């Protein structure tokens, strides 16, 4: 294992960042700067072409936050000129803001952000450093995987396999804090499109790790499975809508954890009175079988870090404990208004965007029931596998989660019949309270991104194990 190389860009500019904090500190009660240098590469080999592109998370820039008695102002930039930055921040925070707020009410913050002294550095150690990656070897390996699938599966008309790595370097400087972190995650995808001339169906399997190019081995393992699944979908039928006993695979369980309840526990929603969860703290929202976590320290997956984008350390927050809603997750500014401690969940899409309360690694704990017993316990229902998308509804606790497919279960046995796509809808507490069985074997997936409403995409991971519940399918 070797340590990642740190960012020269961030460390070479550190003194300038300190100078900005110091100068602005003369005028403002609180000043912080987050610097980001995120880089990486994505390699894709598909039936149509081969592509090499930067990681979709690539960014390099800074965001300054200042606080004074009339509230918060931020300035995002990627050109470092200390004098210009100080002038711009003062203009934004003093002149522009004064004009804007004139006779309007302001959101009031009872205190300035937590800024207790802290100096910490985290530099991840990994097996394969990105600078040792050989593009030729990566492309050759992905081409081999692609070609094997195309040879072995005749109905696969299009296959794409990809590997990407992203090294995240961040620095956070305030009057009393000096934090630095370098970590890396990798994502792999195998996507197959099957056609029988009439119908076209697709499926994907993703993989992720907090590491490097060794992940391609996972892509190689999952590629035949995804091809098989895509071909199987050609025989799928439409589900007859109705309420069924369902078993969710770990991917779909993770989607439920994230969409159905995770968004509702984001406490900036509590501040705006947009979350029904605020009325349910210390009340039952799920069956006894449900324990749900979120946190950068709750697991080692793509959303694990030392500190968040507001300079708060990542934690392991128990959201639901044996069915009872215990805590939400919280960014710094929402925590100030709510009078609680931030949980290290303040995340930005990039230095260009505002920080919000965001999920990190969100999952249901594993249980002790076997998948076989779950299947055997169902007279008529479906085993839901994979996911294509989901949408939150924190105010009303509605659910929309879409599974790639459902496998029919009749009289305690899988019949071999497949339905697709499958929409799971309904009311979150009804679904969570109906969970009667949870299997061992927690699995997390960090290949996805999470939006806040329609925007602000950030890296998250989700997971769980097999769960049995009741759900409205269509």
> What three-state secondary structure class fits 214?
helix
User: What CA–CA distance (Å, rounded) separates 192 from 202?
Assistant: 6
**Under rule CB under 8 A, residue 398 binds another protein:** yes
Q: Figure out which of the listed residues 31, 378, 402, 403 binds another protein, where binding follows CB under 8 A.
A: 402
**Under rule CB under 8 A, residue 385 binds another protein:** no
> Tokens representing 47?
């039936």
> Tokens representing 355?
């920080």
Q: How near is the Cβ of 179 to another protein at its closest, in Å?
A: 21
Q: How do strand 346-347 and strand 443-445 relate by DSSP bridges?
A: unpaired
For another protein, the binding residues in 300-329 under the rule CB under 8 A are: none
For another protein, the binding residues in 102-121 under the rule CB under 8 A are: 102, 104-107
Pick the piece of the chain touching another protein (CB under 8 A) from 91-99, 117-125, 288-296, 459-467. Answer: 91-99
> What three-state secondary structure class fits 124?
coil
Query: Quick one: angle between helices 82-90 and 14-25, nearest 10?
Result: 30
**Count of residues in contact with another protein, rule CB under 8 A:** 84
For another protein, the binding residues in 7-36 under the rule CB under 8 A are: 9
**Under rule CB under 8 A, residue 6 binds another protein:** no
Q: How many CB atoms lie within 10 A of CB 94?
A: 16
Of residues 104 and 151, the one with the C-beta less far from another protein: 104
> What three-state secondary structure class fits 158?
strand
Of residues 140 and 373, the one with the C-beta less far from another protein: 140
Pick the piece of the chain touching another protein (CB under 8 A) from 92-100, 244-252, 366-374, 407-415. Answer: 92-100
User: What CA–CA distance (Å, rounded) separates 149 from 224?
Assistant: 6
User: What CA–CA distance (Å, rounded) separates 185 from 1?
Assistant: 15
Of residues 134 and 415, the one with the C-beta less far from another protein: 134
**Under rule CB under 8 A, residue 399 binds another protein:** yes
**Under rule CB under 8 A, residue 86 binds another protein:** no
Task: Name residues whose C-beta falls within 8 Å of residue 168's C-beta, 6 or more positions apart in sequence.
Answer: 36, 38, 57, 181, 182, 183, 184, 185, 305
User: What CA–CA distance (Å, rounded) separates 300 from 211?
Assistant: 10
Strand partners, 437: 468
**Under rule CB under 8 A, residue 148 binds another protein:** no
Q: How near is the Cβ of 472 to another protein at its closest, in Å?
A: 7
Q: How near is the Cβ of 48 to another protein at its closest, in Å?
A: 5
**Under rule CB under 8 A, residue 252 binds another protein:** no
**Under rule CB under 8 A, residue 151 binds another protein:** no
Q: Interface mask (CB under 8 A) for another protein, residues 44-83, using x and -?
A: --xxxxxxxxx---x-xx---------xxxxxxxxxx---
Q: Figure out which of the listed residues 19, 68, 128, 195 binds another protein, where binding follows CB under 8 A.
A: 195
Q: Interface mask (CB under 8 A) for another protein, residues 345-384, using x and -?
A: -------xxx------------------------------
Of residues 7 and 465, the one with the C-beta less far from another protein: 7
Q: Figure out which of the listed residues 6, 68, 88, 370 binds another protein, where binding follows CB under 8 A.
A: 88
Q: Interface mask (CB under 8 A) for another protein, residues 267-306, using x and -?
A: ----xxxx-x------------------------------
DSSP state of 4: P
CA diameter of the chain: 74
3-state per-residue secondary structure call for 269-337: HHHCCCCHHHHHCCCECCCCCCCEEECCCCCCCCCCCCECCCCCECCCEEEEECCEECCCECCHHHHHH
**Under rule CB under 8 A, residue 238 binds another protein:** yes
C-alpha closest to that of 64 among 53, 78, 49, 74: 74
Q: Figure out which of the listed residues 15, 69, 100, 125 binds another protein, where binding follows CB under 8 A.
A: 100
């Amino acid at each position: 294992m070797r340590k990642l190389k740190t960012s020269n860009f961030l460390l070479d500019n550190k003194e300038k960042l300190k100078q900005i904090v110091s100068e602005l500190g003369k005028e403002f009660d609180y000043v912080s700067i987050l610097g980001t240098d995120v880089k990486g590469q994505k390699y894709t080999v598909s039936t149509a072409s081969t592509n090499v592109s930067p990681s979709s998370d690539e960014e390099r820039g800074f965001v300054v936050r200042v606080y004074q008695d009339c509230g918060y102002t931020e300035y995002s930039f990627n050109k470092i000129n200390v004098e210009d930055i100080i002038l711009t921040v003062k203009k934004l925070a003093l002149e522009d803001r004064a004009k804007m707020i004139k006779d309007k009410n302001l959101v009031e913050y009872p205190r300035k952000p937590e800024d207790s002294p802290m100096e910490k550095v985290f530099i991840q150690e990994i097996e394969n450093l990105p600078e040792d990656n050989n593009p030729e070897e990566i492309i050759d390996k992905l081409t081999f995987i692609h070609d094997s699938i195309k040879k072995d599966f005749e109905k696969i008309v299009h296959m794409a396999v990809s590997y990407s790595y992203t090294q995240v370097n961040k620095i956070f400087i305030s009057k009393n804090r000096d934090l630095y972190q370098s970590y890396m995650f990798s994502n792999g995808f195998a996507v197959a499109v099957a056609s029988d001339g009439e119908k076209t169906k697709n499926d994907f399997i993703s993989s992720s790790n907090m590491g490097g190019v060794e992940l391609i081995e996972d892509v190689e393992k999952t590629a035949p499975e995804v091809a098989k699944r895509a071909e199987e979908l050609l025989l799928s039928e439409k589900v007859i809508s109705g309420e069924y006993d369902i078993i969710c695979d770990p991917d779909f369980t993770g989607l439920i954890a994230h969409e159905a309840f995770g968004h509702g526990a984001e406490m900036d929603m509590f501040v705006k009175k947009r979350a029904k969860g605020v009325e349910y703290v210390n009340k039952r929202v799920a069956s006894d079988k449900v324990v749900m976590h979120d946190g950068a320290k709750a697991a080692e997956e793509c959303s694990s870090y030392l500190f968040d984008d507001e300079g708060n350390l990542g934690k392991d927050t128990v959201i639901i404990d044996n069915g009872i809603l215990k805590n939400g997750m919280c960014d710094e500014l929402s925590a100030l208004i709510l009078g609680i401690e931030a949980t290290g969940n303040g995340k930005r899409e990039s230095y260009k965007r505002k920080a919000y309360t965001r999920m990190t690694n969100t999952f249901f704990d594993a249980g002790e029931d076997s998948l076989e017993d779950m299947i055997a316990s169902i007279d008529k229902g479906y085993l839901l596998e994979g996911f294509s998308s989901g949408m939150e509804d924190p105010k009303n606790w509605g659910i929309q989660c879409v599974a790639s497919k459902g496998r029919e279960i009749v009289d305690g046995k899988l019949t071999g019949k497949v339905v697709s796509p499958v929409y799971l809808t309904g009311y979150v507490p009804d679904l969570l309270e109906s969970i009667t069985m949870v299997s061992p074997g927690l699995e997390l997936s960090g290949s996805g991104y999470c939006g806040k409403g329609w925007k602000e995409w950030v890296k998250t991971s989700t997971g769980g194990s097999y769960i049995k519940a009741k759900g409205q399918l269509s």
